[in-house]
Amino acid sequence: MIISRFYVRSSRLLKNGGAVISRAVQTSSENNAANAAAEKLEIKKELPSQNRRPLYLDVQATTPLDPRVLDAMMPYQVSYYGNPHSRTHAYGWESETAMENARKQVASLIGADPREIIFTSGATESNNIAIKGVARFYKSKKNHVITTQTEHKCVLDSCRVLEGEGFDVTYLPVKQNGIVDMKLLEETIRPETSLVSIMTVNNEIGVKQPVADIGALCRSKKVFFHTDAAQAVGKIPVNVNDMKIDLLSISGHKIYGPKGVGALYVRRRPRVRVEAPQSGGGQERGMRSGTVPTPLVVGLGAACELASEEMEYDCGRVNMLSKRLLDKIMSNVSHVIRNGDPEETYPGCLNLSFAYVEGESLLMAIKDIAVSSGSACTSASLEPSYVLRAIGTDEDLAHSSIRFGIGRFTTEEEVDYTAEKCIEHATRLREMSPLWEMVQEGIDLKTIKWSQH
């Protein structure tokens, strides 16, 4: 849903940079009709010039691959190419050993048993297997699934598919701070509820859900609990036993690992059964057929091990930088609202609404910084993010929100530059705005009756 400002790497052909190309141009000779449609939807992607690359503050979208992770993966990209499922020769055995070692590394980060880890292609696939898999397996006895309105698209979409199959799905509203109402959740659980799926850390507003409380509640009601922890694992402590989690999704590229790999934790005791959506050779305990990509899972394992070693250090840094950015902006710009709970949050995800500033204009003004707008925008309709809408953010504030992502490799310099640019441009844009002028004069904008247009 979030449209990240997307920069194609400056290619050698475009040394001068600054050139504006759209995909429509690249494929112009192929299909004119399709191009016309594509052109409409395409956001113009401006390539940064060679030595003016924007700062990266969008670590919720993806993180850079840690060089230490790449170093662990390289041998399996260039030398050890065996299929880890080959049983008859050393090529297979060496890959299998690496895969099982990676499984251990992933398991130990979340306090699980290695046999409970299933490798997948990413958190989207993990979520699909968990939600559709559990719901379908227990369909004959239970047909109710609970989730929240602020979940990731792939969770919501999996639930929509289940609804089409005759399941009953409850999309719980969240409180104004983005946190699920435990009392409401308890009331919503019924005897036919098979699964509760609530994410650990929200990808847009960074809010942390009370996962341990939800886990305890679900266990007491004998309902399986799945959590999408793609934004949480490796950043905050997660333990599947302490938190009574039955299924948990992990993504590689959110924890400085490779893209295209993830994992799903599936509890063995008490056993959780899933109906595999994908048919095939029965790898990964039959839950996810298909050859496990050794280099990628080695990278995921290395990223998990690094994350557990570096969690304390990274956390300290992220906390400090997040506070620095927030304080700088808040003390220099008025009417800035932080979306989501200020306490129960992962500080690396900072979602701010700049009131009386048009979000898209601000994003364009600070294009030296790669950030996301909280609002989903297609060229056809400018619709605010459903997550912000779910926490009751005003339409105009939702339109002016920006998500700042701070991670392991973010520096003080980058944070300061970001704060300065935001202050400068938010102030400038407000000075041009008639709305801001009215606010300065003390007119409450909510009382104005705008003429229909």
Q: State yes or no: residue 10 binds other proteins (CB under 8 A).
A: yes
Q: State yes or no: residue 80 binds other proteins (CB under 8 A).
A: no
Span interacting with other proteins, options 20-28, 147-155, 209-217, 413-421, rule CB under 8 A: 413-421
Q: Are 429 and 358 in contact (CB under 8 A)?
A: yes
Size of the site for other proteins (CB under 8 A): 26
Q: State yes or no: residue 52 binds other proteins (CB under 8 A).
A: yes
Q: State yes or no: residue 120 binds other proteins (CB under 8 A).
A: no
149-169: burial string, b at 16+ Cβ within 10 Å, e else? ebbbebbbebbeebeeeebeb
Q: Which is nearer to other proteins, 9 or 44 (CB)?
A: 9
Q: Is 17 left (phi over 0), alpha (psi -120 to 50) or beta?
A: left
Q: Rounded distance, CA 279 to CA 281, Å?
A: 7
Query: How far from the centroid of its chain's Cα atoms is residue 48's Cα?
Result: 25
Of 154, 218, 377, 422, the active-site residue reads 377
Q: Which is nearer to other proteins, 53 or 335 (CB)?
A: 53
Contacts of 271 (CB under 8 A, 6+ apart): none
Q: Rounded distance, CA 423 to CA 60, Å?
A: 23
Query: Shortest approach of other proteins to residue 367 CB, angstroms?
Result: 10
Q: State yes or no: residue 70 binds other proteins (CB under 8 A).
A: yes
Q: Rounded distance, CA 299 to CA 112, Å?
A: 19
Cis check: omega of the bond before 270, within 30 degrees of 0: yes
Q: Which is nearer to other proteins, 73 or 247 (CB)?
A: 73
Q: Rounded distance, CA 151 to CA 201, Å?
A: 10
Query: Shortest approach of other proteins to residue 302 CB, angstroms?
Result: 11
Q: State yes or no: residue 420 binds other proteins (CB under 8 A).
A: no
Q: Rounded distance, CA 130 to CA 155, Å?
A: 9
Q: Which of residues 277-316 bind other proteins (CB under 8 A)?
A: 313
Query: Shortest approach of other proteins to residue 70 CB, angstroms?
Result: 7
Q: State yes or no: residue 60 binds other proteins (CB under 8 A).
A: no
Query: Shortest approach of other proteins to residue 252 CB, angstroms?
Result: 18
Taking CB under 8 A as the criterion, the residue among 54, 111, 114, 277 binding other proteins is 54
Q: Rounded distance, CA 52 to CA 46, Å?
A: 12
Span interacting with other proteins, options 29-37, 288-296, 410-418, 433-441, rule CB under 8 A: 410-418
Query: Shortest approach of other proteins to residue 390 CB, angstroms?
Result: 33
Q: Rounded distance, CA 341 to CA 178, Å?
A: 6
Hey, what are 409's tokens? Answer: 């490799």
Contacts of 198 (CB under 8 A, 6+ apart): 147, 148, 151, 180, 209, 211, 214, 225, 226, 227
304 is catalytic: no
Q: State yes or no: residue 93 binds other proteins (CB under 8 A).
A: no
Q: State yes or no: residue 6 binds other proteins (CB under 8 A).
A: no
Query: Shortest approach of other proteins to residue 370 CB, angstroms?
Result: 10
Kindly list the distances between the CA atom of residue 33 and the CA atoms of 21, 24, 36, 378, 424, in Å, as whole numbers in the listed order. Answer: 18, 11, 5, 19, 42
Q: State yes or no: residue 12 binds other proteins (CB under 8 A).
A: no
Helix (H) or strand (E) holding 115: none
Q: State yes or no: residue 413 binds other proteins (CB under 8 A).
A: yes
Q: Which is nearer to other proteins, 53 or 153 (CB)?
A: 53
Taking CB under 8 A as the criterion, the residue among 53, 104, 259, 428 binding other proteins is 53
Span interacting with other proteins, options 19-27, 53-61, 167-175, 376-384, rule CB under 8 A: 53-61
Residues β-bridged to residue 350: 404
Q: Are 206 and 319 in contact (CB under 8 A)?
A: no
Query: Shortest approach of other proteins to residue 411 CB, angstroms?
Result: 5
Q: State yes or no: residue 241 binds other proteins (CB under 8 A).
A: no
Q: State yes or no: residue 50 binds other proteins (CB under 8 A).
A: yes
Q: Which is nearer to other proteins, 163 or 368 (CB)?
A: 368
Query: Shortest approach of other proteins to residue 77 CB, angstroms?
Result: 11
Q: State yes or no: residue 408 binds other proteins (CB under 8 A).
A: yes
Contacts of 451 (CB under 8 A, 6+ apart): none
Give the active site residues: 377
Contacting residues toward other proteins, per CB under 8 A: 9-10, 48-56, 64, 67-68, 70-71, 74, 313, 368, 408-411, 413-414, 417
